[in-house]
């Protein structure tokens, strides 16, 4: 199997038949064998009936139906598990992603050796209320991750099979699959400008809250990537820094008071200074952070995946 196309969907009954016919019309003349995997994320319309009918008529169509709505990450995870193609492409079901882009994405993975290629909707047909926050969100993701992609949230992405079998997508992490891939050693990440079509059916399933959730998820995936197996490096460093600052501040106040007493200089009590309590609080917080790092390190060392690494190849094994 050359290509697996994973399509998560929620209430997209109007577009599914057209999407399949378009994909088949693009790939069949090129001799690219494919499977189209629809993931019905708890739709309450007739989407699943359409998928069942397509599956009965065409062997390339496969379907997975959730009992309720779990979200796009869960749908992609199930689709990645089921995919068997050498190249895996994800796309949305609303026809805003153009199937004519599939051969180009496939070529970049198969012929140019990319591990992952992300689409870039350079010209978007969305209101300013979505495009402006999206630009800021993508700038933040680039700055924090170091991955120079213009559109992390584009649903049109292509992967080598090894990539999607090596990562675990959960929560709302579908936006950060490039970061998860890089964390697992897949560093050849490319980008392709793709056509963004106007929505023909239905309404958008995402609201403004996705930007807040996206930012929080970015912090989570960044923390896990850098400190998932060595939490003491973060909490221990912060704790030591805060304790040291508090300790020397308190030491300064104490020495200053002793100097005043020795030289018969009237000086207020150390405990009457607000800096004393700031120093004490800093030492307490520093100690707590250090203990948090120590406990997190114990949990990390007890994890069954503490010595699980991504191995590319072996010889004589």
The answer to whether residues 218 and 239 belong to one domain is no
**Other Cβ atoms within 10 Å of 98 Cβ, number:** 16
pLDDT for 23 equals 95
Which phi-psi region, left, alpha or beta, contains residue 49 (left: φ > 0; alpha: ψ -120 to 50)? alpha
Q: State how far the alpha carbon of 314 is from the alpha carbons of 180, 231, 311, in Å.
A: 23, 30, 8
Tell me: do 39 and 140 sit in the same domain. Answer: yes
Does any domain span residue 291? Answer: yes
Indicate whether 46 and 147 sit together in one domain: yes
CATH number at residue 163: 3.90.550.10
Domain shared by 31 and 109, yes or no? yes
Kindly report the pTM of this predicted structure.
0.72
Q: Give the pLDDT score at 62.
A: 95
Cα 27 to Cα 32, 113, 177, distances in angstroms: 6, 20, 25
Instruction: Give pLDDT, residue 61.
Output: 95
Domain final position from 169, 200, 227: 227
d(CA 47, CA 269): 75
Q: What pLDDT score does 297 carry?
A: 79
Give the DSSP letter string of 144-168.
HH----S-TT-S-EEEEHHHHTT--
Residues 182 and 242 in one domain: no
Same domain, 295 and 146: no
Q: Is residue 74 part of a domain?
A: yes
Task: Give a yes or no: residue 204 inside a domain.
Answer: yes
Whether residue 245 is found in the same domain as residue 212: no
Residues 193, 296: one domain? no
Residue 47 token pair: 């989407």
- Residue 126 has a pLDDT of 62
- Residue 238 and residue 104 share a domain: no
Q: Is residue 283 part of a domain?
A: yes
Task: For residue 56, give its domain range.
Answer: 3-227
The answer to whether 115 and 163 are in contact (CB under 8 A) is: yes
**pLDDT of amino acid 162:** 92
Q: Report the pLDDT value the prediction gives residue 99, as an integer from 0 to 100.
A: 92
For the chain of 317 residues, list the mean pLDDT of each consecutive stretch of 10: 93 92 94 94 92 94 92 90 94 90 94 92 69 76 82 90 87 82 87 80 58 69 71 87 93 87 81 88 93 83 58 56
């Amino acid at each position: 199997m050359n290509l697996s196309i994973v399509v998560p969907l929620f209430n997209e009954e109007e577009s599914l038949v057209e999407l399949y016919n378009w994909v088949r019309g693009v790939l069949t003349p090129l001799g690219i064998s494919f499977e189209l995997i629809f993931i019905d994320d708890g739709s309450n319309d007739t989407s699943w009936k359409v998928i069942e009918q397509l599956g009965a008529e065409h062997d390339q169509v496969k379907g997975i139906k959730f009992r309720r709505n779990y979200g796009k990450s869960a749908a992609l995870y199930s689709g990645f598990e089921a995919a068997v193609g050498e190249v895996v492409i994800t796309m949305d079901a609303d026809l805003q992603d153009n199937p004519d882009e599939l051969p180009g994405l496939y070529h970049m993975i198969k012929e140019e050796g990319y591990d992952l290629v992300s689409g870039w909707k350079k010209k978007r047909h969305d209101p300013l209320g979505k495009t402006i926050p999206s630009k800021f969100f993508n700038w933040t993701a680039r700055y924090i991750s170091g991955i120079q992609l213009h559109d992390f949230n584009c649903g049109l992405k292509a992967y080598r099979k090894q990539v999607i079998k090596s990562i675990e997508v959960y929560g709302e992490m579908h936006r950060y699959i490039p970061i998860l891939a890089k964390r697992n050693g897949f560093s050849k990440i490319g980008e392709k400008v793709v056509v963004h079509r106007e929505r023909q059916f239905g309404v958008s399933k995402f609201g403004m809250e996705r930007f807040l959730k996206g930012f929080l998820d970015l912090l989570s995936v960044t923390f896990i990537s850098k400190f998932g197996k060595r939490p003491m490096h973060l909490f221990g460093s912060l704790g030591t820094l805060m304790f040291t600052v508090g300790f020397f501040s308190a030491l300064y106040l104490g020495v200053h008071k002793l100097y005043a007493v020795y030289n018969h200089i009237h000086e207020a009590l150390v405990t009457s200074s607000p800096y004393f309590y700031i120093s004490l609080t800093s030492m307490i917080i520093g100690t707590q952070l250090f203990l948090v790092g120590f406990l997190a390190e114990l949990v990390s060392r007890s994890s069954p995946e503490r010595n699980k690494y991504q191995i590319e190849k072996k010889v004589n094994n």
